[in-house]
Amino acid sequence: MKATAAVVLLQVSAAAASIFDTILPTTRGTITSDPWECATETPESYFDVPKPTGKLLNALLDHGDAIQEGCQSTMTDALGMSACTFPPQSQWCDFTKSAPSSLLPAYSSYASVASSWWAEHSSAAVDYAKYCPNRWFRAMTSYPYGAVWLNDTIAFAGCYAAAHATNELKTTLSATATAGMKATEAGVTATATAENRNGIVGKRDDVEMWMVAGTGLAAAAVNSIL
């Protein structure tokens, strides 16, 4: 991975915000009806994403509760419920700093699966959401926690992609360091700042799920669809 990749990751942040407005809208589409071709697909499948389970799920929920503490409602979501701004993407990625070390292998595995799933489905999901906004909105709001799970999947896929992009960049630069420079001095961390978009943030409820739909995304997560 070339050093210019760091710049690329930063440049796609604006596109990421636009993509989230498309796939996680807070209002219905503005067209009266979707093209007839939209009925030939099942958009609900885009909300049936890989999910963490067991102790990992509980730990992620605890982390979500911690970074959302003191959340104040600032808007309404797609269902007309009160919502507030989503915490910075970096705070979700910081799960690896606070999680028990025994859960890190499971988290890495889940994030890897989430990253692969999003890479495979992202282009089709964005295209369908743009072309068939009404059916997409109905699928998103009718599938149980559909927007929540899709957003969580993309968020942790972004954490995984950003971490691996950083590691690859460090390795590349270290390998090409000049003779008089220590390898550790040649490492450069690729970072991407996500803009906080329309957020849905809720405390853990009786089904143990946090709401983070419509958030900004680390640019690395959407790099594969641009």
Per-residue pLDDT tens over the stretch 49-58: 999 999 999 9
- pLDDT confidence of 175, banded at 50, 70, 90? very low
Domain that holds residue 202: 5-27+45-225
pTM for this entry = 0.66
User: In 3D, which of 214, 223, 37 has the Cα closest to residue 131?
Assistant: 37
User: In 3D, which of 136, 130, 152 has the Cα closest to residue 200?
Assistant: 152
Is pLDDT above 70 for 186?
Answer: no
Q: What mean pLDDT do residues 114-138 have?
A: 92
- pLDDT confidence of 75, banded at 50, 70, 90? low
Within a domain: residue 40?
Answer: no
Q: Strand locations in 14-162, DSSP E?
A: 75-76, 82-83
Comparing 222 with 129, which gets the higher pLDDT? 129
State residue 3's pLDDT score.
41
Q: What mean pLDDT do residues 85-95 have?
A: 79
Q: What mean pLDDT do residues 5-13 have?
A: 39
Within a domain: residue 37?
Answer: no
Is pLDDT above 60 for 43?
Answer: yes
State residue 77's pLDDT score.
67
Torsions phi, psi of 34, nearest 5? -80, 155
CA 50 to chain centre: 13
State residue 36's pLDDT score.
93
Alpha carbons 99 and 185: distance in angstroms, whole number: 29
Within a domain: residue 127?
Answer: yes
Is pLDDT above 70 for 207?
Answer: no
State residue 89's pLDDT score.
73
Count of domains observed in the chain: 1
The 10s digit of each residue's pLDDT in 104-113 is 999 999 999 9
Is pLDDT above 80 for 134?
Answer: yes
Alpha carbons 225 and 81: distance in angstroms, whole number: 30
Within a domain: residue 39?
Answer: no
Number of C-alpha atoms within 13 angstroms, CB side, residue 150? 29
Within a domain: residue 19?
Answer: yes
